[in-house]
């Protein structure tokens, strides 16, 4: 597919340790020849943080692992951008066999906390609630959480030698519930938190990427994962315009009005499709026709294990996750 934008990116999860070599080969022999020049690596807490070993997640990457990933990216002029989830997605369930990802759940259940809330239960917005919907959130009024999160950002950007970090902030359903957070509107709460992390990242010369769904109202016609039904969308007018928005849409729509909304509000964006080829084509086509110069590029999402995807696309192995086959087929056909 011919794309008019200079950045062609893909989200890959941090590889499991026994699949690191497959993922390195995948970057070198599959992604680079197809012109990918950015990898956003979904790390979450899956790095062996030196300053905060208490937050290590499942099978964390070592410093040496990251340097190997950096080497193959540098060789191929690919920008490697670390990614965390720094509001929601603080808990979930592992697939069996695990791909290293904690997946959200659409039922009210007790689930597994990821590194930050496991180590610091007081940072949990619902610390007294055992069963929750989808995934837990960080308490955005917690000064302690902000301090630890900024230290994690610093270490991850140092290790990845990165001038850019993706801080997630998608699918936040459980923020703004505690007595302290209820003193502010959801839009203020979310924008204050993101702006303060962005200021921290800017001070060290970095750029911030976030997902755009909390900045869009369900009045746009998007579903409640791709947009917000609790008022957080007013944050779009409060956020610093130097934050790059990753505008993700996975369903098929007649129009993708977010492309125009972000242009009108003065944001640079990346468009982020997923596994359904028809939806991807429609979204890309809409974005091409509505580009006011504000689209930096495409950021293809995957959400299967990077090793799973690598072994499917390099060796034709069957994917372990239910969606891996479709994700791989769409990548094959589109790029």
Q: Give the footprint of Zn ion on this chain (CB under 5 A).
A: 125, 139, 141, 178, 181
Q: How far is the CB of 239 from Zn ion (least distance, A)?
A: 19
Query: In the complex with Zn ion, which residue's Cβ is closer, 141 or 330?
Result: 141
Query: In the complex with Zn ion, which residue's Cβ is closer, 21 or 180?
Result: 180
Query: In the complex with Zn ion, which residue's Cβ is closer, 149 or 328?
Result: 149
Can you count the helices (H) and strands (E) in the chain? 9, 13
C-alpha Rg value of the chain to the nearest Å:
19
- Among residues 246, 250, 259, 322, the alpha carbon closest in space to that of 281 is found at 250
Structure tokens at 65: 């692992």
Query: In the complex with Zn ion, which residue's Cβ is closer, 99 or 125?
Result: 125
Backbone angles phi, psi at 91, to 5 degrees: -160, 175
Distance CA 295, CA 240 (A): 17
In 102-229, beta strands by DSSP E: 102-103, 105-109, 112-113, 132-134, 164-166, 207-211
- Among residues 334, 329, 297, 302, the alpha carbon closest in space to that of 313 is found at 329
Quick check: 236 and 265 in contact, CB under 8 A? yes
Quick check: 9 and 37 in contact, CB under 8 A? yes
Query: In the complex with Zn ion, which residue's Cβ is closer, 178 or 209?
Result: 178
Query: In the complex with Zn ion, which residue's Cβ is closer, 89 or 275?
Result: 89
Query: In the complex with Zn ion, which residue's Cβ is closer, 76 or 195?
Result: 195
Q: How far is the CB of 263 from Zn ion (least distance, A)?
A: 33
Q: How far is the CB of 146 from Zn ion (least distance, A)?
A: 12
Q: How far is the CB of 176 from Zn ion (least distance, A)?
A: 7
- Among residues 304, 305, 311, 320, the alpha carbon closest in space to that of 22 is found at 311
Q: How far is the CB of 189 from Zn ion (least distance, A)?
A: 8
Put residue 192 in one of left, alpha, beta given phi > 0 → left and psi -120 to 50 → alpha. alpha
Q: How far is the CB of 169 from Zn ion (least distance, A)?
A: 15
Q: How far is the CB of 142 from Zn ion (least distance, A)?
A: 7
């Amino acid at each position: 597919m011919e794309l008019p934008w200079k950045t062609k990116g893909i989200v890959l999860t941090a590889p499991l340790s026994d699949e690191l070599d497959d993922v390195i080969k995948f970057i070198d022999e599959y992604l680079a020849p197809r012109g990918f020049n950015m990898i956003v690596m979904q790390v979450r807490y899956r790095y062996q943080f030196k300053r905060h070993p208490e937050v290590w997640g499942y099978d964390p990457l070592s410093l040496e692992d990251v340097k190997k990933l950096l080497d193959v990216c540098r060789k191929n002029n690919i920008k490697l951008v670390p990614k965390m989830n720094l509001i929601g997605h603080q808990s979930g369930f592992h697939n069996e066999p695990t791909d290293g990802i904690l997946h959200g759940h659409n039922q009210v259940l007790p689930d597994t906390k990821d590194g930050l809330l496991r180590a610091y239960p007081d940072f949990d917005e619902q610390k007294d609630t055992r069963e929750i919907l989808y995934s837990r959130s960080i308490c955005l009024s917690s000064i302690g959480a902000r301090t630890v999160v900024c230290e994690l950002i610093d270490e991850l950007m140092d290790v990845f030698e990165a001038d850019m970090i993706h801080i997630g902030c998608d699918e936040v359903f459980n923020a703004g519930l505690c007595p302290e957070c209820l003193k502010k509107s959801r839009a203020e709460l979310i924008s204050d938190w993101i702006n303060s992390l962005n200021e921290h990242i800017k001070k060290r010369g970095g750029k911030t990427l976030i997902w755009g769904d909390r900045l869009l109202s369900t009045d746009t016609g998007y579903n409640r994962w791709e947009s917000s039904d609790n008022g957080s969308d007013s944050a779009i007018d409060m956020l610093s315009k130097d934050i790059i928005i990753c505008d993700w849409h996975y369903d098929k729509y007649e129009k993708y009005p977010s492309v125009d909304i972000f242009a009108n509000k003065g944001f640079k964006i990346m468009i982020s499709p997923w596994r359904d080829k028809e939806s991807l084509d429609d979204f890309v086509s809409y974005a091409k026709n509505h580009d006011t110069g504000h689209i930096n590029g495409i950021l293809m999402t995957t959400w299967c294990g990077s090793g799973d995807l690598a072994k499917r696309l390099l060796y034709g192995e069957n994917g372990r996750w239910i969606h891996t086959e479709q994700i791989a087929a769409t990548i094959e056909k589109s790029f």
